[in-house]
Structure 1
Amino acid sequence: MSDGDFQAVGTSDERMFGPRKIIVCGFSAEEQDTFGKMAAAVGMADMPLVFAGEGEADDALGEIVDLPQGTGLGRASVLERAVILSGLTERELHAVMAGYRGMELPRTLWATLTESSVTWPLSELLKELAAERAAFLRRQSQDRP
């Protein structure tokens, strides 16, 4: 699964891969509502949101991103907390991440849909992201005096 490497995200207005949509995982129904309000507050009130849960865990990301706007809204998810961005510009990605930090919700995993990840099952992407975060935190703790 690790055929995708971290790549720095710039600040261009060029759209990234995939249809314009945000996939949200691992949020309670109340947090889903808060996420939608945050998207509106950062100028993306019309951004389609899909709230993936256990029922989508084995589905490919390409299938999930094709689900209708609002799928899963109001249905709490026990999946790993993650936000997967598709088809946004780099500027929009930064706006969503900054808006999220301002919500004071628990940390989340972040990903963008790519040509390689579009075929990955959601559960595999979440495992990969969690492993990458754990490795990053280990390196960070080793670098501290």
Structure 2
Amino acid sequence: MSPSGFSKVGASPKKRLYGPRAALVCGYSSAEQDTLLAMMERFRLTDLAAIFATGADMDKPVGELLGLPAGHGRGEDSPLPRAIVLSGVTEKELSTFMAAWKHLGLPQQNWATLTPTSEQWELMDLLTELDLERIALSSKS
């Protein structure tokens, strides 16, 4: 791990990251949710549970939310900050997911992968930390 607290992720198609296979999606409108699901289908990521966090989920632990059924919160615009927390994906799938998302031209967002520490955090605490990290990194540029 680097002094910034981040560690480089490789591109292994076999090395699976921590947690259940899921994507916790925060801050998306209903229409953007559909766009994201279509992208996941196009890139053969349909076995990855897409869980859409709602305002009512902000005080729940991230690990608990990643255990919800696929489609939770779908169709409800999310008031949360924009982010995706990926869990249980391979390094290659992480890279593919992020590249495909960028290709869609969706608004800027934060990205995270689940860790044993972050799965215990309340969702809003994690989203706040991700914003602080993004600000710190952009001020170093």
TM bracket (short chain): over 0.9
For the pair 1:23 / 2:24, whether they are aligned, the reply is yes
Aligned length: 137
Give yes or no for contact 1:40–1:46 (8 Å, CA) kept in 2. Answer: no
For the pair 1:138 / 2:135, whether they are aligned, the reply is no
For residues 101-127 of structure 1, give each alpha carbon's deviation from its aligned partner in whole angstroms, at most 9, with x where no partner exists. 000010110000011111000000000
In the alignment, the residues of structure 2 paired with residue 6 and residue 26 of structure 1 have an alpha-carbon distance, to the nearest angstrom, of 23
Identity %: 42
Alignment RMSD: 1.1
- Residue 5 of structure 1 corresponds to 5
Question: Deviation at 1:37?
Answer: 0.6
In the alignment, the residues of structure 2 paired with residue 57 and residue 31 of structure 1 have an alpha-carbon distance, to the nearest angstrom, of 19
For residues 53-76 of structure 1, give each alpha carbon's deviation from its aligned partner in whole angstroms, at most 9, with x where no partner exists. 111100001110010110000000
In the alignment, the residues of structure 2 paired with residue 78 and residue 137 of structure 1 have an alpha-carbon distance, to the nearest angstrom, of 24
In the alignment, the residues of structure 1 paired with residue 84 and residue 10 of structure 2 have an alpha-carbon distance, to the nearest angstrom, of 18
SS of the counterpart of 1:83? strand
Question: Deviation at 1:41?
Answer: 1.3
In the alignment, the residues of structure 2 paired with residue 94 and residue 68 of structure 1 have an alpha-carbon distance, to the nearest angstrom, of 24
In the alignment, the residues of structure 1 paired with residue 113 and residue 25 of structure 2 have an alpha-carbon distance, to the nearest angstrom, of 12
For residues 67-95 of structure 1, give each alpha carbon's deviation from its aligned partner in whole angstroms, at most 9, with x where no partner exists. 01100000000100000000000000000
For residues 22-77 of structure 1, give each alpha carbon's deviation from its aligned partner in whole angstroms, at most 9, with x where no partner exists. 00000000000000011111111232100001111000011100101100000000
TM norm structure 1: 0.92
- Residue 79 of structure 1 corresponds to 80
Question: Deviation at 1:11?
Answer: 0.7
TM norm structure 2: 0.94
The 5-angstrom pairing of residues 1-145 of structure 1 reads 5-12=5-12, 13-140=14-141
In the alignment, the residues of structure 1 paired with residue 113 and residue 136 of structure 2 have an alpha-carbon distance, to the nearest angstrom, of 19
In the alignment, the residues of structure 2 paired with residue 80 and residue 20 of structure 1 have an alpha-carbon distance, to the nearest angstrom, of 22
SS of the counterpart of 2:130? helix
